[in-house]
């Protein structure tokens, strides 16, 4: 019985410390009084925990709160130098890896192309090389790395940290977590790239503090990261958020997923390029032709079509209008099902700006039953959001309450136990 009581006391102590750390992480800079108020712990308990966190170097005092009159409380924040997370984004554009501190600041970043052969040995080999080079080039002691988060395009089983399948990359069954943890002996977390991006935006970006929102990316494909009640919604098998493959016209063109009329076939980059090529082949008068080098249709890119639109080209503007309208129809369906507070947009498709956003917003207004005036924002973190979000996969696990941690995560607990 005594052992159980001792065990419970220890657990309560550990939980209280985790609540305090999480509250600082979420609201920093924050005073001791405010922490006590938010956690409903007594001020003396909070002060004791904070004193031990300061002694261990995890928390630091940042000065006085200038906003209030009277006696000014000392503000606290996490010490961003205590540990670094590696955030990696893997997609058609390549492998981008960054060292990110506890404040979500990218300290160093490198990238390389993805392996030319669709060979899983090469995939892991490339990621291992990228991690080694990143740490070496940044001149960081590997001991300061608290974990690695990977955001990858495709269907991911985040519980075992494996990529199940990626139609865009052409890969199947890549055990990132298992193989990289063996190689580096640090905790590794894997999720769909857009889920990681959504997490990053929630902690540091445009969706800070928002509990229900959807982050939509428009690029080679169209994906959605869904945050419900502050957590990523993965669905039953990790497949939630396949917005690009919702069917908007059963008789539409064949999609690479094998179905007909997916939203992607009506609004992704390939749709935009296909429509521009059609206009060029028909011989329509468009600036795209003048901007295209040697009339080389195979090298036609979305950025050329964007450039033409900004120069006033009607054909280019009409293509984005159509893509935006289709996108708005697809997003309306999504809004009706998920009822988010906010929609965040990211990806190369967004470089077309108003040409795609205005018709999209109009279509949402016309077709959505709920939230006709829903908040639609661009990602605040920009391209860096992908790696910051991947690093956040590590940070969110590390600061989780111990009671929610499984035995499998003992390695993380031991990492954190050094500080908390």
Pairing of strands 94-101, 84-91: antiparallel
- The answer to whether 257 contacts Zn ion (rule: CB under 5 A) is yes
Find the shortest distance in angstroms from Cβ 169 to Zn ion. Answer: 15
Is residue 88 helix, strand or coil? strand
How many residues of this chain bind Zn ion (CB under 5 A)?
A: 5
Region binding Zn ion by CB under 5 A among candidate stretches 127-135, 241-249, 305-313, 319-327 = 241-249
Is residue 1 helix, strand or coil? coil
Find the shortest distance in angstroms from Cβ 125 to Zn ion. Answer: 31
Which of 192, 245, 317, 325 is close enough to bind Zn ion by CB under 5 A?
245
Packing angle of the helix pair 32-39, 2-27 (nearest 10 deg): 120
Region binding Zn ion by CB under 5 A among candidate stretches 3-11, 193-201, 239-247, 296-304 = 239-247
Measure the CA–CA gap between 247 and 330, rounded to whole angstroms. Answer: 8
Measure the CA–CA gap between 58 and 70, rounded to whole angstroms. Answer: 29
Cis peptide before 238 (omega within 30 of 0): no
> Given the complex with Zn ion, which of 200 and 330 has the nearer CB atom?
330
> Given the complex with Zn ion, which of 128 and 273 has the nearer CB atom?
273
Region binding Zn ion by CB under 5 A among candidate stretches 144-152, 183-191, 244-252, 299-307 = 244-252
Is residue 251 helix, strand or coil? coil
CB atoms within 10 A of CB 319: 28
Pairing of strands 375-378, 342-346: parallel
CB atoms within 10 A of CB 200: 32
Region binding Zn ion by CB under 5 A among candidate stretches 44-52, 255-263, 299-307, 367-375 = 255-263
Measure the CA–CA gap between 59 and 80, rounded to whole angstroms. Answer: 9
> Given the complex with Zn ion, which of 202 and 245 has the nearer CB atom?
245
> Given the complex with Zn ion, which of 190 and 262 has the nearer CB atom?
262
Find the shortest distance in angstroms from Cβ 330 to Zn ion. Answer: 12
Find the shortest distance in angstroms from Cβ 250 to Zn ion. Answer: 12
> Given the complex with Zn ion, which of 203 and 245 has the nearer CB atom?
245
Q: How many helices (H) and strands (E) does the chain have?
A: 14, 16
- The answer to whether 262 contacts Zn ion (rule: CB under 5 A) is yes
Find the shortest distance in angstroms from Cβ 242 to Zn ion. Answer: 8
Residue whose pair of structure tokens reads 């005594």 in the numeric block = 2
> Given the complex with Zn ion, which of 262 and 323 has the nearer CB atom?
262
Find the shortest distance in angstroms from Cβ 346 to Zn ion. Answer: 20
Q: Which residues bind Zn ion (CB under 5 A)?
A: 245, 255, 257, 259, 262
């Amino acid at each position: 019985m005594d052992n159980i009581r001792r065990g419970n006391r220890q657990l309560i102590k550990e939980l209280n410390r985790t609540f305090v750390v999480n509250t600082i992480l979420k609201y920093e800079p924050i005073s001791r009084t405010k922490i006590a108020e938010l956690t409903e712990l007594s001020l003396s308990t909070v002060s004791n925990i904070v004193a031990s966190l300061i002694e261990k170097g995890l928390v630091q005092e940042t000065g006085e709160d200038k906003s209030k009159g009277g006696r000014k409380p000392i503000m606290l924040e996490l010490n961003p130098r205590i540990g670094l997370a590696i955030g990696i984004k893997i997609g058609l554009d390549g492998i981008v890896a960054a060292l990110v501190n506890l404040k979500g600041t990218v300290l160093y970043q490198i990238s390389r192309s993805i392996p030319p052969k669709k060979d899983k040995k090469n995939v892991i080999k490339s990621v291992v090389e990228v991690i080694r080079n990143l740490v070496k080039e940044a001149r960081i002691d590997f001991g300061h790395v608290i974990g690695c988060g990977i955001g990858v395009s495709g269907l991911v089983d985040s519980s075992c940290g494996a990529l199940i399948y990626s139609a865009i990359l052409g890969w199947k069954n890549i055990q990132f977590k298992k193989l990289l943890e063996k190689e580096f002996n640090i905790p590794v977390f894997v999720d769909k790239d857009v889920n990681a991006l959504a997490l990053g935006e929630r902690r540091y970006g445009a969706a800070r503090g928002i509990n229900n929102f959807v982050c939509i990316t428009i690029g080679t494909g169209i994906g959605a990261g869904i945050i419900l009640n502050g957590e990523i919604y993965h669905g039953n098998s990790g497949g939630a958020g396949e917005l690009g493959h919702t069917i908007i016209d059963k008789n539409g063109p064949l999609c690479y997923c094998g179905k007909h009329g997916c939203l992607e076939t009506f609004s992704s980059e390939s749709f935009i390029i296909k429509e521009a090529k059609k206009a060029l082949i028909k011989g329509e008068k468009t600036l795209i032709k003048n901007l295209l080098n040697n009339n080389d249709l195979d090298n036609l890119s979305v950025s050329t079509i964007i450039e033409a639109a900004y120069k006033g080209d009607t054909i280019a503007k009409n293509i984005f209008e159509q893509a935006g309208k289709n996108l708005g129809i697809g997003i309306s369906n999504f809004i009706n099902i998920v009822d988010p507070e906010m929609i965040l947009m990211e990806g190369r498709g967004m470089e077309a700006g108003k040409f795609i956003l205005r018709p999209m917003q109009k279509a949402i207004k016309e077709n959505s039953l709920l939230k006709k005036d829903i908040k639609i924002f661009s990602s605040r973190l920009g391209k860096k959001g992908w790696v910051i979000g991947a690093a956040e996969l590590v940070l969110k696990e590390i600061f989780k309450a111990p009671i929610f941690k499984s035995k499998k995560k003992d390695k993380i607990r031991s990492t954190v136990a050094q500080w908390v």
